[in-house]
Structure 1
C-alpha cells in the first residue's frame, strides 16, 4: 500500500512539476498545479503567492525550468527504480539508475543556480525556506553520490538505503504541494507563505522517516555480516535522550513566546516528531525482544540521531542568529527545519560505516585464518 501511494503521488505530481513555471516564461500558459490549487483552495490564494515570485524566478528562469522539468522526470523515474528493485529486474534497474543519477545532478544544478542568484530574504517564505532548499539540495546530491559509490563497491544494502534517502529528499516537493492544498482547510486564513513556514517544520522529518521505514521493510536480515554489539550503549542513549529533551524544552519555550504563530509552528514540529519517535522506540524494543540484532542496531542509531536533532536545531539557530544576521524567530525556524533531515543523513552514514567495517573485519579474519591453516613447506622442499 505504501508503494502504491508513493507511485500515485509521484505520477500525479510529475505533470504539475513540469508545467509549474511555464506561466512565468509565457503568461497564460497552462499550469496544472495552479489550476488544481485554485479549485482546492481559492484563485486569490494562488494569485497572491505567485505574484511575489515573478522577480526572483525571472532572474533564473531557464535554470528553474530545467530544474522543474527534470524534477518531474525524476518523479517518474523513481517508481520505475523502486519497482524494478522489488521485482529484481537488474538490467532495467541499472539502466534507469544511470539516467536517474544524471537527471538528479542536472536538476539540482538548476536549483543551485537559482539559490546562488536569489538572496535568502527573497526566497519564497524568506530566509528559512532558502536554508531548507539549500540543505535538501546538498542532501540529495550527496545521497545519490553515496548510493553510486555503494553500488560500485558492491554494497547493495547500502545502495538501497542511500537511494531511498535521496528519493525521500525529492519527495519534499510533492508533499509540500499537498500541504498547500490541505492545510488551508485546517488553518483557514493563512497565505501560502504562512503554509510554507508550517510545512517546513516537519517535512524533513517525515521524508527521512519514510526512507528509513522503506529501508527496514526491504531488509529482512536478522544479523549483518561482521556487525556485533552496538556503538550506542545504554549510557550514551540515555545521555542523548536527556540532551534532546533539554533542547526540545528550549525550542518549545522560544516558540511559545511568539504567540499564535509560534504555537502553530511548534505543533507542526512536535506532533510529527513525537509520532516518529514513538514508532522508532517501539520498533527498536520489538527487534530487541525478537533477537534481531541488526534491526535493533539500525533503529538504535536512528533513534539516537532523532534525539540529537533538537540539539543540532538549537545550535544552528544560535549560529544563524549570530553569524547570518537572522532574527531570532527566523533563525530558530531554519534550525528546526534542517535538524531531523541532517541527523537522519548522519545516521545513514553511521549505518553505512558499521556495515563496511563489519565486512572488512570479516574479510581480514578470513585472510588471517587462511594464513594460519596454510601448510608450512618442509626444509627439503
Structure 2
C-alpha cells in the first residue's frame, strides 16, 4: 500500500519566501510616494492602518517627513529598486533549482547591478542623516549601515566566487545577500504583528524590538537554505576541522560570559530593557539549539562537510555576544551614544556580522581544500615521473 510522503519543508519554505517577496514588492515600490504626494497610493500604509490602526500608520508617516525630505530622491530609488529585488530574488532561486543556466546568469547580472544602485541610494540617505535622526534612533542607523555593507559585500563575494569557479560558494554568498535584503519585508511583518503581542507600542518601539533579532534570523535562514541545497557528505581536500573541541569549548565560555553581561545590563534597565532582552535571547537560543543539534547529527552520520559548516557557524554564533559587548565601547566613545544605546547597537549587529565572518571562513575552507588537492596532484605527478638514466 502506498504511504503518503511527509511534508516537503524545503518546498514549503520556498513557497513562503516567494509569497512574502512578491507581496512585499508593491509595498516597497510605493512606500515613499506619500512623501511626494499625500494622495499617492501606499499599499503598506493602507494595510497597516487596517491590521493595527490608522493612527499607528499615520504617526509613523508624520515623524519621517522632515528626515526623509532632504534625501527623498535617493530613498525612492532605493525603495523602487528594493521592490524589484524582491521579484528578482525568487526568479534567481527558481532558475538555479531548475538549472536554467543562461537565464540564471542573465538575471544574476541584473540582480547584482540592482543591488549596487539600490544600496547606493540607501548609502546617500545614511550619509546625509545623523544617527540620532534615523527612524528609531542611532542603533537603527547602525543596523541599516551594517546591512548595507553586508549586502554589498555579499553580492560582490558571490560574483567573485562564480568567476573563480566556486559555484557552491557563489550560492552561499548570494543566499546571505538575499537574507540581508529580507530584513525589509520581515520588519514590515513585525510592524503588523508585534502591536498585537505588545499592545501600545509605537512603530519606533517595534523597530527597536525587531532589530534585536532580525540579523540573527536572516543569517540563520540563509544557512538553512545553503545546507538544504548542498547534499555533499564530503568536500575534496576538506579534512578534519578548524574548530576542534578545545576551541569550541573556549568560544562557548566566552559567549556565555558575554551573554551574562548583556542579560545583566538589560535586566537593570527596567521593563523596556527586559522586553529587548527577551526579543534577543529567544531567537538566539532557538538558533543555537538547531546549530548544535545539526552539527552533532552530521558528525554521527559521517557527513564531515556538513558537520564542519554547522560547527563553524555555531562557533560564530557563540562569539556574536562577545563582538556585541566589544563594539559597545567604541559606539559609546566615538559616536557619543549613551551606554544603553551603544550596547543595543552592538547586540543588533553581532549575529549578522559573525554570520558573515563564518561564511567567509567556510569559503576559505573550501578554497584551501582545492589548494590541498592541487598540491597533492603535483606531488603525485612528481613521484610517478620516471627518473632519467645517468649519462655515461
Q: TM-score range by the shorter chain?
A: over 0.9
Structure 2: 5+ residue stretches without partners:
1-11
Structure 2 Cα separation of the partners of residues 220 and 209 of structure 1: 18
Structure 1: 5+ residue stretches without partners:
none
CA deviations over 1:174-231 (Å, ceiling 9, x no partner): 0000000000000000000000000000000000000000000000100011000011
Structure 1 Cα separation of the partners of residues 40 and 127 of structure 2: 27
Structure 2 Cα separation of the partners of residues 47 and 119 of structure 1: 23
CA displacement at 1:25 relative to structure 2: 1.3
Aligned partner of 1:288 in structure 2 is: 299
- Please tell me the root mean square deviation across aligned C-alpha atoms, in Å: 1.0
CA displacement at 1:374 relative to structure 2: 2.1
Per the normalisation by structure 1, the TM-score is 0.99
Aligned partner of 1:274 in structure 2 is: 285
CA displacement at 1:329 relative to structure 2: 1.1
Aligned partner of 2:79 in structure 1 is: 68
Structure 2 Cα separation of the partners of residues 35 and 28 of structure 1: 12
Choose which of 201, 213, 231 in structure 1 pairs with 2:242: 231
CA deviations over 1:56-85 (Å, ceiling 9, x no partner): 111110000000000000000000000111
Aligned partner of 2:219 in structure 1 is: 208
Aligned partner of 1:313 in structure 2 is: 324
CA deviations over 1:290-328 (Å, ceiling 9, x no partner): 010000000100000000000000111122112211011
Q: Residue 158 of structure 1: SS of its match in structure 2?
A: helix
Aligned partner of 1:165 in structure 2 is: 176
CA displacement at 1:377 relative to structure 2: 4.1
1:1-381 aligned within 5 A: 1-378=12-389
Structure 2 Cα separation of the partners of residues 250 and 141 of structure 1: 32
Aligned partner of 2:6 in structure 1 is: none
Structure 1 Cα separation of the partners of residues 335 and 83 of structure 2: 33
Structure 2 Cα separation of the partners of residues 237 and 377 of structure 1: 51
Structure 2 Cα separation of the partners of residues 324 and 118 of structure 1: 14
CA deviations over 1:7-49 (Å, ceiling 9, x no partner): 0000000000000001111221000000001100001001111
CA displacement at 1:379 relative to structure 2: 5.6
Structure 1 Cα separation of the partners of residues 132 and 26 of structure 2: 29
Q: Residue 120 of structure 2: SS of its match in structure 1?
A: helix
Aligned length: 381
CA displacement at 1:371 relative to structure 2: 2.3
Structure 2 Cα separation of the partners of residues 98 and 380 of structure 1: 60
Structure 2 Cα separation of the partners of residues 330 and 247 of structure 1: 17
CA deviations over 1:87-111 (Å, ceiling 9, x no partner): 1111111000000000000000000
Q: Residue 30 of structure 1: SS of its match in structure 2?
A: coil
